[in-house]
Structure 1
Amino acid sequence: MIADSRVENIEKIRQAGISLPTMLIRTPMLSQAANVVKYCNISLNSEIAVIEQLSLVANQTNIIHGIIIMVELGDLREGVMPNNLLAFIGKIIHLPNIVIKGIGTNLACRYGISPDNEKMSQLSALADEVEQTFSIQLDIISGGNSASINWALNHGANSRINNLRIGEAIFLGCEPLYQEPIEGLFTDVITLTAEVIESKVKPSLPWGERGKNAFGEKSAPPNRGDVSQALLALGRLDVHIAGLKPPAGITIVSSTSDHLIIETSGEALLVGQKIQFNLDYGAILLAMSSPYIHKSFNHQDFDTE
């Protein structure tokens, strides 16, 4: 199954001819209900009004739409409170053209709440309670995102969890909570290359009357004398700057909308030279979404023995 938080991306997946089942992993907007039903087999939901609208559209278009009811287990993002789950399902279970595929939860995104045996046991127990109360079978018990990887690989207790929504772990090769590498995966498969558009020796200290910059910031840099400075054709419009890891000998000192300012400790960089960065999740998130960053996919066979 392919999942995405934006229905626009799932529409592109369909237009590309990919026929795998698709899941929308952000609660649908009311205004996008028609496209959600059209392009997504399943959506994650936590609002009755949204599910009612999905049902209306699905009934009008003769489509069966699957939903997963999200349950709040402590990270305080999306989800029905556990003690309200049965009443919530009772209000939507008979809606036409809607099938309750399962229940799920999201952890570690807002407050870093860890998926552990207690949380997963609670979700499993809720699944049992829903099935017993409504005499239905839940096919999917979704235990979270990449932050649940360690729990899934190491827990020994019985569990109903049979689904995780994995993205970050695949791209970065590590689990998010503690940034521990996952055995068998690579941690450097995604890099970002930026081109030098200016390279000069300049003072490290600005001069003139100073106010706030374009982003409302005001800093007081120390006077380090003249420095070897370069501008890269990359900015806050393209990527989360704090998530970039430069190569040895290069320091990121500042950024604006369209410029990344770096300093070098060795030889000055040349105009046109390419600088390659590693990225964290936040940087990948924006860079992959930026229309100004060109994506190049390189396929390579690895010996796994």
Structure 2
Amino acid sequence: MKPKVYINIEGVKKNTLNLVTKAHQYGISVAGITKGCCGNEAFAKAQIEAGIDFLGDSRIENLEKLQHLTIDKILLRSPKLSEIENVISYTQYSLNTNLKVIQALSRVAVKKNVNHSIILMVDIGDLREGIWHENLNDIYNVVESIISLNGITLAGVGTNFTCFGGIMPTEENYKLLIKVADKIRKRFNISLPIVSGGNSSSLQMLYEGKIPKGITHLRVNQSIYTGIEIGEGNQISNWETEIVSLQAEIIEIQVKPSYPQGTFAIMNAFGPIKNFKDKGMRKRAIVALGRQDMNIEGLKPVDSTITVEGASSDHLILDITDSNINYSIGHMVEFNVTTYASIITAMASPFIEKVANI
């Protein structure tokens, strides 16, 4: 039996509703993100029912699966030139940095007789995508070209925080983005309604009421799954933290030494050898799950007496010595999946079945 990952849909809806309610209080719209669950429809519908304003994903394939849902959709990664036709067909907005791509979007939008909205990305310091905020002439040149194109509307500017450089949003760097937006409005006499201020790393500022007026849009993904704000890693009040769980099958149980015997290699298949602690003879179970299936670091056994000892590509090793449960071959062990890296890799794995608990 394949391992199964379960999505707590009611928890998704609760967390999303809490987010939307708080954001709307400050006049901030919310894009619910489906990339973490590979465009799972039940997840998307839960977010729509909770009141999100947009549905976003980094992969056009996921948005194509959700095209029948009546909500504006945003492609969160700059479109590839090879997917422009699909971007225009399945989204109303996309985040962009490159004029060549935007011109291609314009040509296809004109051909399909539709209008497509652009959010121009500006790099405020995290050093992922976007035109560097100090290069105003570069920004102005791209904006001037965008507003001259048919089939295209410049809907706003946006930035990213935390995902690459680990830079947190602050009042100071938010004001840099707002300043860029204001300069574009003044220079080109356009409204620019969207100023998209980032992601889950903004939630602490949102709840403290510290996001400056002028930020009008957030793109939130990770915290919906974990109930934890990025940065200090605190649980968000009244948010669910157990959204994703996983079950996997025991394929071996043996009593054996806890400390490997023989001469250690310098590295194993996944890097440096871990430091082992000699705890004597222990009862160990192997579960049919490994690093090829998902990032295993975020697995937390529901049975708190179980210890995850580690994993190879296909085997997850557990210490079950202290458990009162009489585990046997074929028994399904349940885990909470507590980190975003573990969630997104499990969701993307073809070797793990996905189940939406409604």
> By the TM > 0.5 criterion, same fold?
yes
- SS at the partner of 1:66? strand
Aligned counterparts of 1:231 and 1:157: Cα–Cα separation in 2: 47
Would you tell me which structure has more strand in proportion to its own residues? 2
Question: What residue number does 1:282 align with?
Answer: 341
Asked if 1:6 corresponds to 2:59, the answer is yes
Taking the aligned partners of 1:156 and 1:176, their CA distance within structure 2 comes to 16
Q: Which of 130, 133, 145 is the equivalent residue of 2:187?
A: 133
The 3 A distance-change label for structure 1 pair 283 and 220 is closer
Q: Find the aligned partners of 1:38 and 1:132 in 2 and give their Cα distance.
A: 32
Residue of structure 2 aligned with 1:103, choices 142, 147, 157 = 157
CA displacement 1:189-221 (0-9 Å, x = unmatched): 221222211111123344466644333544564
Please give the alpha-carbon distance, in whole angstroms, between the structure 1 residues aligned to 2:212 and 2:231. Answer: 23
Residues 154-192 of structure 1: per-residue CA shift (max 9 Å, x gap):
235751111100111222112111121222211112212
Structure 2 residue 198 is matched with structure 1 residue 118: no
Distance in 2 separating the partners of 1:40 and 1:184: 33
Trace 1:263-278 onto structure 2 (pairs within 5 A).
263-267=319-323, 269-278=327-336
Higher relative contact order (CA 8 A, sep 6+): 2
Task: Look up the equivalent residue of 1:275 and give its one-letter code.
Answer: V
- Number of corresponding residues: 297
One-letter code aligned to 1:261: I
Tell me which residue corresponds to 1:61: 112
Question: For the Cα contact (< 8 Å) 1:117–1:155, is it kept in 2?
Answer: no
Residue correspondence of structure 1 range 7-46 to structure 2 within 5 A: 7-14=60-67, 17-46=68-97
Q: Structure 1 residue 74 and structure 2 residue 125: aligned?
A: yes
- Indicate the SS of the match to 2:235: coil
Match of 1:237 among 292, 309, 319: 292
Residues 121 and 159 of structure 1 are in contact (CA less than 8 Å); yes or no, is this contact kept in structure 2? no
TM-score, normalising length from structure 2? 0.78
Change (3 A) 1:31 1:298: same
Q: Which position in structure 2 is the counterpart of 1:260?
A: 316
* Distance (Å, rounded) in 2 between the aligned partners of 1:184 and 1:158: 24
Match of 1:187 in 2: 241
Per the alignment, residue 228 of structure 1 pairs with: 283
Q: Residue 209 of structure 2 aligns to which amino acid in structure 1?
A: H
- Give CA deviations for 1:92-137 in whole Å, capped at 9, x if unaligned: 3212211111001100111221111111112112111111111111
Deviations 1:3-43 (A, max 9, x none): 011111111111xx212111011111111111111111101
Q: 2:309 is aligned with what amino acid? A: V
1:213 to 2:268 alignment: yes
Letter in structure 1 aligned against 2:237: E
Preserved CA contact (<8 Å) 1:196 1:272: yes
Partners of 2:120 and 2:212 in 1: how far apart?
22
Q: RMSD in angstroms over aligned alpha carbons?
A: 1.9
Normalising by structure 1, report the TM-score. Answer: 0.90
Distance of 1:157 and 1:65 partners within structure 2: 28
% same residue: 39
Whether the 8 Å CA contact 2:284–2:321 is kept in 1: the answer is no
| Contact preservation (8 Å) 2:205, 2:211 | no
Q: Secondary structure at the match of 1:284?
A: helix
Corresponding residue SS for 1:76: coil
In structure 2, the partner of 1:204 is 258
Q: Distance in 2 between matches of 1:158 and 1:43?
A: 24
Structure 2 residue 225 is matched with structure 1 residue 171: yes
Distance 1:263 1:82, change over 3 A: same
